[in-house]
């Protein structure tokens, strides 16, 4: 079953064509990678899917729902979670609050119940506290619940960002360079971890990554972008041997 | 949350019964003090100003502190509340026969201000920072000139002879109500939404926070209590005019917010108390009395050039104080921290649950 369909998506920044003609059919449960040189338009695609930018042309559908024109929080509430290339935690807030905030759409009480702490308030708050702790414990962050996010070491911040994205209760998870700044040992752990959360949370995952080891190691399908154009698409073995790709991207010798 | 680590302090903050006990005593005193004249009239008056300023500060902190915007509109909302309530008690409600109707007037003042808060929230969807500050300033000026141009409500002359309905118990009640409601709001999904907007609005939106709804609510709650404060103020001063609610009034509240500390209710209370008392000390007669021990050589010129003109000096000192506090002490006394008494127990426990859940989750990760 197709979860995400992008057809003829174009996006311009002023005169710059960041995404030229993007087409994608992502199957439910798939783990797919997007690679490409710097400035290829990878992050822009995530921003188009999640509504940060409105696509200049084309359509992006989650099942049957058109996403183009929706606001980020509407799209997120349709169970699309994401992380950021440059960590974007709520830095001055606690680790727990970072995860609790992402429950916004799943907490059901009215402003009046919130102002007076009556009705569903107590039950709902306890529910999201419990769920946040469950997520934090999965990411071995539970003992840091009261810590300010910016005081966490880099690796823990990366994990917290994934925990926060999972608090959305996503069906589709977008990871923008999750291995950035990690050493080979950490990347091995991350690869294992991504596969584990995929099973545990029944996720469909689309990830952007420069680390070939990770992309080639866990992605079932890979798309290569260059200057907003799709160069190639297919399973890792095909991509690794595609001359166009080798020329544009892998020629740098970064292939593992 | 992580305030001082002194064990005595820790113990004190852990005693959750103290705050309710203080509240009860406070209520008792609020009734007893005017009834038995336990304190002189001037001190009672200052206490009421302290309460009104706490209401103003806590409510403005919601927008300027928790949400991180820079609204200058607070005096405008205060004016709307003051005029609405004063018109009701002067011309509509049979207050002479039923003084018990006063809270209705205060409530109406708050609601009217909240309605305008809704309108001011709309530009905040599109613009932030300096631009929003300018829009809120424009709003303040519009409110002032609208009032000046309506003869029915006294135009620039204002409304004199308002009944003195604001009493110490009422101020105490509304102060506690403000603190309680704002605190409840802050510790809800909406309050956390407000905080996340200050941190990173786009990330907040991408974490499913309906930022528009949250901004609407924050502005409405904030302006509602500004209106309440205005209503109480009008019925204490017994005279209001457009000039009472100018930018200086907003500046006062801004100083109290940033002095006490952004995103902190306890900070706002501290800021309001300190600043209100300071303002009283800086009144020429009070200040002169305070430094009267100085030798005449110093006192006389000081008196002639400074103390007598404190009213004017105030206009220089206070904005300067605001700039200095914001530049060199951006977090103020309690910025982003809170006395634990104000934090719901559920929230405290949730942040300090050190024990890991049994091995039910077995994730292959761990740096
Ligand atoms: N907000 C923006 N305004 C103008 N130009 C932008 C904006 N965001 C991205 N661009 C441009 O669009 C192009 C694609 O950028 P994008 O961030 O999508 O690249 P990327 O593939 O994620 O690169 P990287 O690997 O460096 O993260 C780049 O040329 C970039 O400079
Ligand atoms: Mg990128």
Model pLDDT, residue B119:
94
Contacts of B361 in chain A (CB under 8 A): 134, 137-138
Please tell me if the CB atom of residue A40 comes closer than 6 angstroms to any atom of ligand 1. Answer: yes
Model pLDDT, residue B356:
41
Q: Is A24 helix (H, G, I), strand (E, B) or coil?
A: strand
- Return d(Cα B66, Cα B308) in angstroms, integer: 39
Testing the interface with B: which of A54, A70, A72 to mutate, by most B Cβ within 10 A? Answer: A72
R_g (Cα) of chain B, nearest Å:
22
Model pLDDT, residue B64:
96
- Residue A247 near residue A232 (C-beta atoms within 8 A): no
Contacts of A92 in chain B (CB under 8 A): 199, 336
Tokens of A145: 């619940």
Please tell me if the CB atom of residue A41 comes closer than 6 angstroms to any atom of ligand 1. Answer: yes
- Candidate from B199, B206, B217 with C-beta closest to A50: B206
- Return d(Cα B219, Cα B119) in angstroms, integer: 9
Tell me how many degrees the CA angle A53-A55-A58 measures, rounded to the nearest 5: 160
- Candidate from A115, A126, A132 with C-beta closest to B185: A115
User: Which alpha helices (DSSP H) does A82-222 contain, by range?
Assistant: 95-101, 111-116, 121-138, 154-167, 184-200, 212-218
Q: Ligand 1 mean position to A227 CA, how many Å?
A: 10
Chain position carrying tokens 């108390």: B273
Model pLDDT, residue B231:
98
- Return d(Cα B317, Cα B173) in angstroms, integer: 32
Backbone dihedral angles phi then psi of residue B20, each to the nearest 5 degrees: -60, -40
Judged by CB atoms closer than 8 Å, whether chains meet at B193 and A104 is answered as: yes
Backbone dihedral angles phi then psi of residue A130, each to the nearest 5 degrees: -65, -45
- Candidate from A94, A104, A125 with C-beta closest to B209: A104
Q: Whose CA is nearest to atom 26 of ligand 1?
A: A38
Model pLDDT, residue B317:
85
Chain position carrying tokens 């709001």: B185
From A10, A13, A14, A34, the mutation candidate for ligand 1 (largest count of ligand atoms within 8 A of CB) is A13
Contacts of A77 in chain B (CB under 8 A): 208
Higher pLDDT, B6 or A193: A193
- Candidate from A76, A114, A140 with C-beta closest to B189: A114
- Residue A186 near residue A178 (C-beta atoms within 8 A): no
Q: Does B2 score more than 60 pLDDT?
A: no
From A43, A88, A229, the mutation candidate for ligand 1 (largest count of ligand atoms within 8 A of CB) is A43
Model pLDDT, residue B352:
84
- Candidate from B184, B190, B357 with C-beta closest to A116: B184
Model pLDDT, residue B357:
41
R_g (Cα) of chain A, nearest Å:
19
Model pLDDT, residue A249:
66
- Return d(Cα B231, Cα B223) in angstroms, integer: 12
Model pLDDT, residue B318:
83
- The 3-state secondary structure of chain B reads CCCCCCHHHHHHHHCCCHHHHHHHHHHHHHHHHHHHCCCCHHHHHHHHHHHHHHHHHHHHHHHHHHCCCCCCCHHHHHHHHHHHHHHHHHHHCCCCCCHHHHHHHHHHHHHHHHHHHHHHHCHHHHCCHHHHHHHHHHHHHHHHHHHHCCHHHCHHHCECCCCCCCCHHHHHHHHHHHHHHHHHHHCCHHHHHHHHHHHCHHHHHHCCCCHHHHHHHHHHHHHHHHHHHHHHHHHHHCCECHHHHCHHHHHHHHHHHHHHCCCCHHHHHHHHHHHHHHHHHCCHHHHHHHCCCCCHHHHHHHHHHCHHHHHHHHHHHHHHHHHHHHHHCCCCCCCCCCCHHHCCHHHHHHHCCCCCCCCCCCCCCCC
- Candidate from A77, A93, A145 with C-beta closest to B353: A145
Model pLDDT, residue B366:
36
Contacts of B2 in chain A (CB under 8 A): 146
Q: Is A221 helix (H, G, I), strand (E, B) or coil?
A: strand
CATH number assigned to the domain covering B39-336: 1.10.3470
Q: Ligand 2 mean position to A176 CA, how many Å?
A: 7
The 10s digit of each residue's pLDDT in B164-194 is 999 999 999 999 999 999 999 999 999 999 9
* C-alpha of B189 from chain center: 22
Q: Does B305 score more than 60 pLDDT?
A: yes
Model pLDDT, residue B95:
80
Question: How close A145 comes to chain B (CA, Å)?
Answer: 5
Q: Determine the atom of ligand 1 nearest the C-alpha atom of A53.
A: 1
The 10s digit of each residue's pLDDT in B256-272 is 999 999 999 999 999 99
What is the spatial order of strands in the sheet that A16-27 belongs to?
Answer: A16-27, A2-13, A57-62, A65-66
Tokens of A165: 């994205």
Judged by CB atoms closer than 8 Å, whether chains meet at B188 and A104 is answered as: no
Please tell me if the CB atom of residue A85 comes closer than 6 angstroms to any atom of ligand 1. Answer: yes
Model pLDDT, residue B4:
53
Neighbours of A221 (CB within 10 A): 19
What is the enclosing helix (H) or strand (E) of A207? strand A204-208
Q: Is A198 helix (H, G, I), strand (E, B) or coil?
A: helix
Please tell me if the CB atom of residue A39 comes closer than 6 angstroms to any atom of ligand 1. Answer: yes
Q: Does B252 score more than 80 pLDDT?
A: yes
Model pLDDT, residue A114:
97
Contacts of B346 in chain A (CB under 8 A): 122, 125-126, 129
Judged by CB atoms closer than 8 Å, whether chains meet at A71 and B190 is answered as: no
Tokens of B94: 């049979």
Neighbours of B231 (CB within 10 A): 34
Interface confidence (ipTM) of the complex: 0.94
Q: Does B21 score more than 80 pLDDT?
A: yes
Backbone dihedral angles phi then psi of residue B93, each to the nearest 5 degrees: -75, 140
Judged by CB atoms closer than 8 Å, whether chains meet at B351 and A145 is answered as: yes
The conformation of residue A94, written as its DSSP 8-state character, comes to: B
The 10s digit of each residue's pLDDT in B107-132 is 999 999 999 999 999 998 988 889 99
Cβ-defined contacts of B287-293 (< 8 Å, 24+): none
The 10s digit of each residue's pLDDT in B187-215 is 999 999 999 999 999 999 999 999 999 99
Q: Does B54 score more than 70 pLDDT?
A: yes
Q: Ligand 1 mean position to A48 CA, how many Å?
A: 12
The 10s digit of each residue's pLDDT in B271-300 is 999 999 998 988 888 888 888 899 999 899
Contacts of B192 in chain A (CB under 8 A): 93, 97, 100-101, 104
Please tell me if the CB atom of residue A86 comes closer than 6 angstroms to any atom of ligand 1. Answer: no
Q: Determine the atom of ligand 1 nearest the C-alpha atom of A45.
A: 18
Please tell me if the CB atom of residue A38 comes closer than 6 angstroms to any atom of ligand 1. Answer: yes
Beta-sheet pairing, A229-234 with A221-226: antiparallel
Tokens of B124: 């905040």
Note down pLDDT in tens along chain A; length 256 residues: 899 999 999 999 999 999 999 999 999 999 999 999 999 999 999 999 999 999 999 999 999 999 999 999 999 999 999 999 999 999 999 999 999 999 999 999 999 999 999 999 999 999 999 999 999 999 999 999 999 999 999 999 999 999 999 999 999 999 999 999 889 999 999 999 999 999 999 999 999 999 999 999 999 999 999 988 888 999 999 998 888 887 776 555 444 4
Q: CA quadruple B237, B76, B326, B216: dihedral positive or negative?
A: positive
CB proximity under 8 Å: A 174-233 to B: 186, 189-190, 192-193, 196-197, 200
A206 closest CA partner among A73, A1, A35: A35
Contacts of A121 in chain B (CB under 8 A): 188
Mean pLDDT of all residues belonging to chain B: 91
Please tell me if the CB atom of residue A13 comes closer than 6 angstroms to any atom of ligand 1. Answer: yes
Testing the interface with A: which of B66, B180, B206, B222 to mutate, by most A Cβ within 10 A? Answer: B206
A to B CB pairs, distance under 8 Å: 149
B307 closest CA partner among B289, B324, B292, B287: B287
């Amino acid at each position: 079953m197709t979860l995400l369909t992008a057809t003829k998506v174009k996006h311009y920044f002023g005169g710059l064509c960041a995404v030229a003609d993007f087409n994608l059919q992502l199957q439910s449960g798939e783990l797919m990678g997007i690679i490409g040189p710097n400035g290829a338009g990878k992050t822009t695609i995530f921003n188009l899917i999640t509504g940060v930018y409105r696509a200049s042309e084309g359509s992006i559908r989650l099942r049957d729902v058109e996403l183009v024109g929706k606001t980020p929080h509407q799209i997120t509430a349709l169970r699309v979670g994401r992380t950021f290339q440059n960590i974007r935690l709520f830095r001055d807030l606690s680790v727990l609050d970072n995860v609790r905030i992402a429950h916004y759409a799943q907490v059901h009480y009215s402003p009046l119940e919130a102002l007076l702490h009556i009705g569903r308030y107590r039950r709902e708050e306890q529910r999201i506290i419990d769920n946040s702790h469950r997520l934090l414990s999965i990411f071995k962050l539970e003992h840091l619940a009261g810590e300010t996010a910016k005081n966490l070491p880099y690796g823990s911040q990366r994990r917290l960002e994934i925990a926060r994205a999972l608090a959305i209760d996503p069906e589709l998870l977008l990871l923008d360079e999750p291995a950035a700044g990690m050493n080979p040992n950490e990347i091995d752990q991350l690869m294992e971890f991504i596969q584990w959360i995929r099973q545990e949370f029944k996720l469909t995952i689309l990830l952007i990554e420069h680390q070939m080891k990770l992309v080639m190691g866990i992605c079932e399908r890979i798309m290569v972008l260059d200057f907003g154009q799709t160069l190639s698409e297919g399973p890792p073995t095909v991509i690794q041997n595609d001359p166009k790709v080798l020329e544009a991207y892998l020629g740098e010798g970064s292939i593992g | 949350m992580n305030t001082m680590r002194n064990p005595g302090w820790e113990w004190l903050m852990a005693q959750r019964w103290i705050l309710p006990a203080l509240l009860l005593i406070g209520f008792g005193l609020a009734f007893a003090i005017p009834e038995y004249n336990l304190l002189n009239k001037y001190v009672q008056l200052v206490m009421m100003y302290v309460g009104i300023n706490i209401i103003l500060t806590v409510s403005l902190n919601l927008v300027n502190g928790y949400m991180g915007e820079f609204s200058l509109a607070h005096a405008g909302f205060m004016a709307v509340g003051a005029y609405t309530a004063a018109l009701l008690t002067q011309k509509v409600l049979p207050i002479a026969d039923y003084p018990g109707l006063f809270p209705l007037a205060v409530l109406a003042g708050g609601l009217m201000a909240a309605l305008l808060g809704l309108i001011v929230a709309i530009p905040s969807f599109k613009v932030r920072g300096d631009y929003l500050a300018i829009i809120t300033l424009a709003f303040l000026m519009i409110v002032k000139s609208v009032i000046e141009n309506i003869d029915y409500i006294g135009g620039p002359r204002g409304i004199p002879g308002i009944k003195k309905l604001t009493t110490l118990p009422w101020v105490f009640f509304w102060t506690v109500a403000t603190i309680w409601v704002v605190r409840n709001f802050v510790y809800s999904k909406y309050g956390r939404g407000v905080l996340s907007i200050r941190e990173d609005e786009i990330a907040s939106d991408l974490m499913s926070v309906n930022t528009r709804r949250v901004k609407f609510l924050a502005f409405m709650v904030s302006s509602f209590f500004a209106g309440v404060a205005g209503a109480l103020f009008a019925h204490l001063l017994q005279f209001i005019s457009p000039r009472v609610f100018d930018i200086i009034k907003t500046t006062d509240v801004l100083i109290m917010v940033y002095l006490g500390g952004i995103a902190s209710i306890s900070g706002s209370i501290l800021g309001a108390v300190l600043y209100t008392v300071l303002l009283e000390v800086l009144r020429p007669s009070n200040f002169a009395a305070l430094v009267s021990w100085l030798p005449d050589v110093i006192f006389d010129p000081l008196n002639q050039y400074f103390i007598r003109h404190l009213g004017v000096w105030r206009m220089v000192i206070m904005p300067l104080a605001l700039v200095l506090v914001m530049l060199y002490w951006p977090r103020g006394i309690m910025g982003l921290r809170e006395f634990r008494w104000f934090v719901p127990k559920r929230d405290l426990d949730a942040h300090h649950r050190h024990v890991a859940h049994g091995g039910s989750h077995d994730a292959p990760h761990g740096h």
